[in-house]
């Protein structure tokens, strides 16, 4: 198990390491020292409560109160655990099932891609699923990722050479020839996001802003996973099956081709998740990110119940049926022939 995660880490390590550091312009803007937002005296590493607030509120301290923070109901800080909240059957041939707040109301939607290149957006909060739109993501639609929304822009779908987003009452797409491929996405603790592509030899990353004169620009570089504490809020990678095979990962993981890091409790504690097959049974496991490169016999802090079939996709985010609870959405192939499709949402405890 450890070797699978380390291999995933080695891919991120091909990108140049950039330490998490305070930005002088932020300190000057707020008239604060670096240690107001950062734990270390050098202005690097983990964020303080003020720093976390600043990162999550578009770099403003408006409304921040140290007293309010300390008197809030304390969050759980122990290892995350998840419970199955609901299951849903999807059409045969579904290749991807992901959560994304792509609508103007900011609430999570289910986004699926079938055999073709069309992404379908569904609202599950109404009880009965309601299809709200479709968008053609091109021949490599199954490689798409979803970037989180901002205060001015709903979430963005990014596929090789394509970006798509909600504009008015419809979903539109723009050509993005700079994006030759998509391996995954990374969100930093300050809210910045990049899409990255790894071809087995080198990596590129891009920032996306559909309203900018240049919607696609070179993105921030990544750090190694063991340096991700205080830097990453979330990361996900979907790797080609042939590359995963070369790394020696099991067949089920090769077909799923997905692994990631996240901070489910939003307390500055990173965990790694990955499909974890045991013989012929499929599971999802969560491990402490800080242990994956230092503990040879690292054990999962949580493992799912046996899943309905082989894992095809995993996504993290708010429950698309309720929108309040963070969790993991897992797409599996079901039935003796493996042609059936089911999604299951595991809600954080």
- The 10s digit of each residue's pLDDT in 14-47 is 433 334 456 677 777 777 777 777 765 555 556 7
Closest C-alpha among 222, 214, 174 to residue 198: 222
Residue 62 predicted with pLDDT over 60: yes
The whole-model pTM stands at: 0.79
Q: What pLDDT, on the 0 to 100 scale, is given for residue 239?
A: 75
Q: What pLDDT, on the 0 to 100 scale, is given for residue 55?
A: 75
Average pLDDT over residues 235-259: 71
- Where in the chain are the domains? 2-348
Q: What pLDDT, on the 0 to 100 scale, is given for residue 67?
A: 47
Q: Is 75 exposed, middle or buried (0-12, 13-18, 19+ CB in 10 A)?
A: exposed
Residue 142: pLDDT band (50, 70, 90) is very high
Percentage of the chain beyond pLDDT 90 is: 52
Q: What pLDDT, on the 0 to 100 scale, is given for residue 118?
A: 97
CA distance 256 to 279: 16
Q: Which residues lie below 8 Å from residue 175, measured CB to CB, with a gap of 6+?
A: 161, 162
Of 59 and 167, the structure prediction assigns the larger pLDDT to: 167
């Amino acid at each position: 198990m450890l070797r699978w995660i380390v291999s995933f880490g080695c891919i991120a390590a091909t990108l140049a390491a950039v330490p998490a550091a305070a930005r002088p312009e932020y300190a000057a803007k707020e008239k604060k020292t670096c240690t107001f937002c950062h734990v270390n005296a050098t202005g690097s590493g983990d964020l303080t409560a003020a720093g976390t607030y600043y990162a999550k509120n578009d770099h403003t301290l408006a409304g921040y109160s140290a007293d309010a923070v300390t008197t809030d109901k304390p969050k759980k800080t122990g290892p995350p655990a998840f419970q199955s909240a609901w299951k849903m059957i999807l059409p045969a041939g579904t290749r991807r099932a992901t959560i994304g707040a792509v609508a103007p109301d900011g609430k999570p939607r289910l986004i699926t891609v079938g055999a073709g290149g069309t992404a379908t957006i569904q609202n599950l909060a109404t009880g009965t699923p309601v299809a709200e739109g479709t968008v053609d993501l091109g021949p490599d639609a199954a490689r798409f990722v979803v970037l989180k929304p901002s205060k001015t822009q709903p979430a963005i779908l990014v596929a090789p050479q394509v970006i798509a987003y909600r504009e008015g009452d419809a979903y539109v797409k723009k050509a993005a020839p700079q994006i030759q491929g998509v391996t995954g996405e990374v969100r930093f603790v300050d809210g910045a996001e990049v899409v990255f592509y790894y071809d087995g030899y080198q990596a590129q990353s891009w920032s996306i802003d559909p309203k900018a004169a240049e919607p696609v620009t070179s993105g921030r570089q990544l750090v190694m996973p063991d340096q991700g504490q205080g830097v990453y809020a979330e990361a996900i990678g979907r790797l080609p099956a042939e590359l995963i095979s070369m790394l020696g990962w099991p067949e089920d993981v090769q077909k799923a081709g997905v692994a990631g890091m996240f901070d489910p409790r939003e307390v500055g504690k990173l965990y790694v998740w990955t499909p974890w097959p045991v013989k012929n049974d499929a599971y999802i496991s969560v491990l402490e990110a800080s242990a994956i490169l230092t503990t040879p016999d690292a054990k999962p802090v949580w493992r799912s119940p046996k899943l309905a079939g082989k894992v095809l996709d995993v996504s993290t985010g708010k429950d698309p049926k309720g929108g309040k609870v963070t969790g993991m959405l897992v797409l599996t192939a079901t039935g003796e022939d493996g042609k059936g499709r089911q999604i299951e949402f595991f809600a954080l405890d």
